Every structure is written in C-alpha cells, then in structure tokens.
Structure 1
Amino acid sequence: MLAWLVEWWDGVELWLVQLPYVLQVTLAFAVLVPLAWVLARVIDRGIDGLGARLTRVRDAEPPVRRDGSAGRKGTAA
C-alpha cells in the first residue's frame, strides 16, 4: 500500500547515514530546530487559548498576542 513511501524513506535514511558526521548533525539541526520551534508555538497558543476559554473569570482577557495587543477588538491595551 505505502511501499513507495517505505522505499523512499529507506533511500533517504541510507543517504543520510553515509554522510560525514558533521553534515549529519548539521542537517538534523536544520530540520529539527525549526520543527521544534513551530511545534512549541502551536502548543503554546493552544494552551493559552484553552486556558482563556476554561477560566472561571467571566471577563478574562485573552493572552497577550505577538503584536503586543491584548483583549478584545476595540479595547485599549
């Protein structure tokens, strides 16, 4: 069913293993650091949004956004 994907992955894996160690580490960091950063941002925003929805305080302000604004639209920060 997904034999082509398994064969492709085996080829990529074999190519990576045959590279010198320094290049292996460089490629791993080039892929894993941005991936970890994006995953951390998604988890952080998800937890902030969930916390804002589940709070017991009725008029709780949502978390501060990246641009520095907080609260609902039209309110001063």
Structure 2
Amino acid sequence: MLEWLVEWYDGVELWLVQLVYPLQVTLVLAVLLPLCWGLARVIDRGIDGLGAKLTRVRDAEPPVGRRDGETGRKGTAA
C-alpha cells in the first residue's frame, strides 16, 4: 500500500548515508532545526492559550502572543 513511500525513504536514506559527514550534519540540521523550532512554538502557544483559558485568576497575564492585553472576553480589560 505504501511501498512507494518506503522506496522513496530508502532512496533518500541511501543518498544521505553516502554523503560526506559534514554535509550530512549540515543537511540534517537544516531540516531538523526549523522543524523542531516550529513544533516547539506551536506547543508553547497551545499550552499558553490553554492555560489562559483554564486559569481562575482574574488578573492573570495575557498569553505571550497578545500584546494589547485583551483576554478575548468582551468588556474586560487588563
């Protein structure tokens, strides 16, 4: 069913293994650093937003992404 994906991955893996080590490290970092940074940012924003919604503290700080101090509720200001 997914044989084409397995074959493609094997080809990429074989190509990467045959490269010179410094080039391997450079390519892996060029892919993994942005991917891990983006995933960490999404997780951080999600946890921050969830924490802001679940908090019972009335004057809690707004999530990092909000600079205007709005909490998302009408009629309330920080």
Both proteins in one fold, TM over 0.5: yes
Once residues 61 and 22 of structure 2 are traced to their aligned partners in structure 1, the CA distance between those partners, rounded to angstroms, is 48
Is 1:48 aligned to residue 48 of structure 2?
Answer: yes
Q: State the match for 1:70 in structure 2.
A: 69
CA contact (8 A) 1:52 1:63 kept: yes
| Partner residue in 2 for 1:27 | 27
Gaps of 5+ in 2: none
Say how many residue pairs are matched.
76
Determine if contact 2:52/2:63 at 8 Å carries over to the other structure: yes
Larger RCO (alpha carbons 8 Å, 6+ apart): 2
* DSSP-derived class of the 2:70 partner: coil
CA distance 1:64–1:70, shift in 2 (3 Å)? farther
RMSD, aligned α-carbons: 2.4
